[in-house]
């Protein structure tokens, strides 16, 4: 059964660790992440962007697949199925499709409109027992064609959104989706501390988890980050392992072209990435 992310994130915040959100793109991704979370006895959040949802033929397909896979693989650790960077309309579609957690990304709206829309979703999600993530201050880089400049969030705006009763808050602190440029100045811990000061105990979310140095991850967790999103790193390790398989000519040996064989090295590589992240975030044995 899929669960809301509320309880796992509150426990993470109390226990000073973070739960990983790993984005899924297909069946292989989902299977690798679920099996690794189970192996490490860690709670896990499966993130689905609107683009990935469309690729997988719609949110209903995704919810049905994940729900059935949790059951058929005998997964007993807590699993939340979460819409990543949802539009207002996308949030409603995912709620209807059976997601257990939603992110409404209203960061590109004027703050009043972000507040208005978030308020409506808080009401609906609390009626249905779903967790809700809101965003203030856009995350840099590109995701699904949306380019953000990575501005830092205004702590007072964070408080206005947190006070609406969302479950967790993503505040921009100089983090970027995708690879970090060589001249990246690092996370703004000053902003993070100021946001934490305003929002108190609210679990904070760090997007752009790929490529952030371990010491910055640990410091962010010590300042209230309880959920860390990882997408690009799984994509890179999948692509790298697949390329090596093909370059070694393994797809031409025997039945190496069988998609189940062709996709196996990439799926194993994702497991290794997820193991590393769960270890770094400290969520192993916290299920």
Backbone angles phi, psi at 255, to 5 degrees: -100, 30
Can residue 51 be called a binding residue for ligand 13P (CB under 6 A)? no
| Three-state secondary structure call for residue 45 | strand
Q: Could you tell me the smallest distance in angstroms from the CB atom of residue 206 to ligand 13P?
A: 8
Question: According to the binding rule CB under 6 A, does residue 84 interact with ligand 13P?
Answer: yes
Min dist CB 84 to ligand 13P, Å, is: 5
In sign, the C-alpha dihedral spanning 99, 145, 205, 132 is negative
Residues catalogued as catalytic? 84
SS3 labels along 125-186: HHHHCCEEEEEECCCEEEECCEEECCCCCCHHHHHHHHCCCCCEEEECCCCECCCCCCCCCC
Closest CB to ligand 13P among residues 38, 229: 229
Is residue 106 within 8 Å of 87, Cβ to Cβ?
no
Pick from 142, 144, 53, 54: nearest CA to 99: 53
Here's the x/- map for ligand 13P, 213-252, by CB under 6 A: it reads as ----------------xxxxx-------------------
- Taking the least distance from each CB to ligand 13P, the nearer of 51 and 178 is 178
Rounded to a whole number of angstroms, the minimum distance from the CB of residue 151 to ligand 13P is 15
Of residues 148, 219, 162, 147, the one with CA closest to residue 195: 162
Pick one of 32, 210, 267, 283: the residue that binds ligand 13P (CB under 6 A): 210
In the bound complex, what is the minimum distance in angstroms from residue 47's beta carbon to ligand 13P?
Answer: 6
Considering the complex, state which of residue 38 and residue 231 has its C-beta at the smaller distance from ligand 13P: 231
Interacting residue with ligand 13P among 4, 23, 101, 237 (CB under 6 A): 23
Q: Between residues 151 and 251, which has the closer beta carbon with respect to ligand 13P?
A: 151
Grouping H, G, I as helix, E, B as strand and the rest as coil, residue 201 is: coil
Query: Which residues does 110 contact at the CB level (< 8 Å), separation at least 6?
Result: none
Q: Using CB under 6 A, count the residues that bind ligand 13P.
A: 15
What residues from 155 to 184 belong to the interface with ligand 13P (CB under 6 A)? 177-178
* Phi and psi, residue 253, nearest 5°: -85, 130
Contacts of 265 (CB under 8 A, 6+ apart): 241, 242, 244, 245
CB of 21 to ligand 13P, least distance (A): 7
Name the strand (E) or helix (H) holding 279: helix 264-281
Q: Which is nearer to ligand 13P, 4 or 232 (CB)?
A: 232
Contacts with ligand 13P by CB under 6 A lie at 23, 47, 84-85, 177-178, 207-210, 229-233
């Amino acid at each position: 059964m899929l669960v809301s992310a509320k309880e796992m994130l509150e426990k993470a915040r109390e226990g000073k660790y973070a739960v990983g959100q790993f984005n899924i793109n297909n069946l292989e991704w989902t299977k690798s992440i679920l099996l690794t979370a189970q192996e490490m006895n860690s709670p896990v959040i499966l993130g689905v962007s609107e683009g990935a949802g469309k690729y997988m033929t719609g949110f209903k397909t995704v919810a049905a697949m994940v729900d059935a896979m949790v059951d058929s693989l005998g997964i007993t650790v807590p699993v939340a199925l979460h819409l990543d960077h949802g539009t207002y309309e996308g949030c409603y579609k995912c709620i209807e499709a059976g997601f257990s957690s939603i992110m409404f990304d209203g960061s590109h709206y004027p703050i009043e409109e972000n507040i208005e829309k978030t308020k409506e979703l808080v009401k609906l999600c609390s009626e249905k027992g779903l967790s809700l993530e809101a965003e203030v201050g856009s995350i840099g880089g590109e995701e699904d064609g949306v380019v953000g400049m990575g501005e830092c969030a205004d702590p007072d705006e964070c408080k206005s959104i947190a006070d609406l009763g969302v479950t967790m808050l993503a505040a921009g602190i100089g983090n970027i989706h995708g690879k970090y440029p060589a001249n990246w100045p690092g996370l703004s811990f000053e902003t993070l501390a100021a946001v934490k000061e305003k929002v108190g105990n609210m679990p904070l979310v760090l997007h752009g988890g790929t490529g952030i140095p371990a010491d910055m991850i640990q410091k962010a967790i010590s300042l209230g980050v309880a959920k860390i999103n990882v997408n690009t790193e799984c994509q890179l390790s999948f692509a790298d392992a697949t390329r090596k398989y093909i370059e070694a000519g393994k797809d031409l040996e025997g039945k190496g072209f069988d998609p189940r064989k062709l996709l196996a090295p990439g799926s194993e590589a994702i497991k290794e990435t997820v193991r590393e992240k769960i270890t770094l975030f400290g969520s192993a044995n916290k299920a």
